[in-house]
Amino acid sequence: MAPMKSAAIISKPSKPELAGILPELLAWFGKRGYKLYVDEQTAEYIDGGEVVVRKNMGHKHPDFVLVLGGDGTLLSAARAVAHEGVPIMAVNLGSLGFLTEVPLNEMYTTLEAIDAGTCPMEQRAVIDCTLFRSTEAIAHHFALNDVVVNKSAIARLVDFDLLIDGAFAFNYKADGVIIATPTGSTAYSLAAGGPVLMPSVQSFVVTPVCPHSLTHRPLVVTDKAQIDLRIETGAEEAFLSIDGQIGMPVQQGDRVLCHRAQHSVKLLRVRRTFFDALRNKLKWGQR
């Protein structure tokens, strides 16, 4: 006998339209013989499927995860399942939705393609980030978009020493520094003046936020590089954030070490190009 198909649904909290979307989805999966896992947010709207805490969803090894929400929901889902190699299909229920590119009116045609094994899939690089205090690793996280060190609300400029593969590159005095993947190049890094990178480019971009020196510009490095950010805050406190969702304070002498993770995020996509997304989401000129 063929193994039973399985899928998971992860939903954005407090989206009233889910009450009309999810019962029909439950029926669609049921008719096609899927075992279904749902997170707690999804379970608020339907009575069906095994309820699993989001952070544990990857342990169930579903064939794919359906994300209903915006880019923030996708980023959260990616941290929960990507390390287990689970592909993600993201339906945009948010506003900009640069990553959640499947519109609601194309959800079922995309699901049919996934079920038939004909849906395109992209692999996106992930940052492996470790925060060191002295010689102790006190935090470890993965980021699909970016790792950011910013000053706190009332702090002065923060000093950052940047080392690439152990070699000193330069010192920043800035409000912050962003280390972004190609996927994250269209997020905070873009707003801070960084370049747009195609998702297939094997690189990361280091973008200063409001640097004191006008000669400091974003730096593109290979994704094989080890990026070492050494923080000199003095008596002030700065803040480390992962994909804008996980945060923790950093102190004088802390080090943020970043390199490419061994796993990637697998995105199941509609058949559009990256440039279609740029024109649509960023309102670039039409041909």
d(CA 192, CA 188): 6
Give me the half-sphere count of Cα atoms (radius 13 Å) on the Cβ side of residue 180: 31
The lowest-confidence range among 43-47, 120-124, 214-218, 257-261 is 214-218
Residue 218 has pLDDT above 90, yes or no: yes
Q: How confident is the model at residue 286 (pLDDT cuts 50, 70, 90)?
A: low
- What would the pLDDT profile of 232-261 be if each residue is shown by its tens digit? 877 777 899 999 999 999 999 999 999 999
- What would the pLDDT profile of 141-196 be if each residue is shown by its tens digit? 999 999 999 987 666 788 899 999 999 998 988 899 999 999 999 999 999 999 99
Q: What is the dihedral of CA 84, 264, 22, 245, to 10 degrees?
A: 100
d(CA 178, CA 192): 9
Question: Over the range 121-153, which residues count as b (16 or more CB within 10 Å of their CB) and which as e?
Answer: eeebbbbbbebbeeeeeebebbbbbbbbbbbee
**What local confidence, expressed as pLDDT, does residue 163 receive?**
97
Catalytic residue, chosen from 39, 47, 63, 71, is: 71
Q: How confident is the model at residue 110 (pLDDT cuts 50, 70, 90)?
A: very high
Span 91-105, average pLDDT: 82
| 165 classed as catalytic | no
**What local confidence, expressed as pLDDT, does residue 117 receive?**
92
- Percent of the chain residues topping a pLDDT of 90: 73
Set out the domains of the chain in order of their start, with CATH numbers: 5-124+264-281 (3.40.50.10330), 127-260 (2.60.200.30)
If you ran DSSP here, which 8-state letter would residue 106 be given? Answer: G
d(CA 144, CA 219): 18
Span 56-82, average pLDDT: 95
Q: How confident is the model at residue 2 (pLDDT cuts 50, 70, 90)?
A: low
Q: How confident is the model at residue 205 (pLDDT cuts 50, 70, 90)?
A: very high
d(CA 99, CA 91): 9
- What would the pLDDT profile of 8-40 be if each residue is shown by its tens digit? 999 999 888 999 999 999 999 999 999 999 999
**What local confidence, expressed as pLDDT, does residue 276 receive?**
79
Its pTM stands at: 0.92
- What would the pLDDT profile of 120-137 be if each residue is shown by its tens digit? 999 999 999 999 999 899
